[in-house]
Structure 1
Amino acid sequence: MLTYERIYAVVRQIPPGQVATYGQVAELAGLIGKPRLVGYALYRVDMTTDDVPWQRVINAKGEVSESPLRHGSDYLQRAMLEDEGIEFDHRGRIDLGKYKWRPPDSVIEQALAAFGENLG
């Protein structure tokens, strides 16, 4: 579960109106090459009560990754992003050049440092 907490610490830093890719979150959490692990972690987030903005993580194509495991709730992610002002094109993609989160290193260092403090 500690790995999931690293992922959540990074995702909590993504501001409204911006997105990150699964691979980007994995890299920032020190889990290079493990974007699927990010997906698994975000699948476990309680969409209604958790403070992890899971909706801000999308695939490398700029799309909401559809999953049969979400039982048809994929539309919810898109609606939440649109409510934050993110626009989708006619193919259902987000312009990553416009909306991709580019955090300064200090933001991630602080998030992961706070994660480490919560462990001990």
Structure 2
Amino acid sequence: MNTSDSPISDVREDMNVLDSAGEEVGTIAEVQMSDPDAVTPAGQGQNESLVGRIADALRPSGLPDQAQENLARKGYVRIDAKGPFAGSRYAAADEIASVKEQTVALTIPEEKLLR
């Protein structure tokens, strides 16, 4: 995916996020562009290079390895969720429908966001 042609290239921290139903989810806390060469976390052993350690640190933590790999390859946004069950949510770059002014609209409902 060429992120320069994707809506994620227009996303900035502190933008408001709406799910596919138009409901407010939270605000953008982090934007990570795609890395098609991301090393898979499974079966790789410890990454001793500086670049490898930085790449490991940038992967969304707390998610299953397969979800982390998918997000790292596609690019993603981390959302600071609002509401009684606040915390971080993750949306892949290809789940961003549009970016207008200070609002990011997603193609999926809030309950489908990774946690």
- Larger strand percent: 2
- Larger helix percent: 1
TM (norm. structure 2) is 0.29
